[in-house]
Amino acid sequence: MRRFSFARGKAPGFFALAVFFCFGAAGLAAETKQIPGSEGVLLYGHPRFITGANSAAGGPVFTTGSYSLTMNPALPADLQCLSADLGYTGLLAAGEDAGHAAALRLGAAAPTRFGVFSAAAQGLFAKEVLGVGNIAIGRLGWSRDVTRNFYLGLSVTGGALFYDGYRDFYIAADLGAWLRFPEIAFLKQVRFAAVAQNLGKTFTQFGPDDGGAAFDIRGYPGMITPKVGAAAHLLEKKGLILGVSADLSVPTLSNLVFNTGLQAVIADLVYVSAGWDFNLWEAAEKWGPGNGRTGFHSPYIGLGVKLSINTSGNETMKKRGFDQTDITADAVWQRLWKDVHLYSLGAAASFGVRDTIPPDIHVGAIRND
Please tell me the predicted confidence (pLDDT) of residue 218: 58
Q: Are 57 and 67 in contact (CB under 8 A)?
A: no
Closest CA to 66 of 141, 148, 137: 141
Mean pLDDT of the chain: 80
The predicted pLDDT at position 365 comes to 56
d(CA 319, CA 303): 34
pLDDT score recorded for residue 29: 39
Residues near 158 by beta carbon (within 8 Å), at least 6 away in sequence: 137, 138, 139, 169, 170, 171
pTM exceeding the 0.85 threshold for the entire prediction: no
What's the pLDDT score for residue 203? 79
Q: Does domain 33-266 have CATH number 2.40.160?
A: yes
pLDDT at 360: 52
Helix, strand, or coil here: 305?
Answer: strand
Find all residues with CB under 8 Å of 250, minimum gap 6, and list them: 222, 225, 226, 227, 256, 257
pLDDT tens-digit map of 147-167:
999 999 999 999 998 877 778
* Residues of the chain where predicted confidence (pLDDT) is lower than 50: 1-31, 287-291, 357-358
Taking only Cα atoms into account, the Rg of the chain, rounded to an integer number of angstroms, comes to: 22
| pLDDT confidence of residue 7 | 42
> Which of 317, 326, 314 lies closest to 354, judged by CA?
326
- C-alpha to C-alpha distance for 84 and 129, rounded to whole angstroms: 29
Residue spans of beta strands (DSSP E) within 202-323: 205-206, 215-218, 225-237, 240-249, 257-266, 270-279, 300-310
Other C-beta atoms lying within 10 Å of the C-beta of residue 101: 23
**pLDDT score recorded for residue 252:** 81
Do 170 and 195 meet the contact criterion of CB atoms below 8 Å apart? no
pLDDT for residue 164: 74
Dihedral, 132, 199, 226, 104 alpha carbons, nearest 10: 40
User: What pLDDT, on the 0 to 100 scale, is given for residue 24?
Assistant: 44
Q: What are the sequence ranges of the domains in the chain?
A: 33-266
Contacts of 359 (CB under 8 A, 6+ apart): none
- Report the C-alpha gap between 332 and 63 in whole angstroms: 17
Q: What counts of helices (H) and strands (E) characterise the chain?
A: 5, 17
Please report the pLDDT score of residue 42 as a whole number. Answer: 74
How far from chain centre, in Å, is Cα 227? 11
CA 286, distance to chain mean position in Å, is: 25
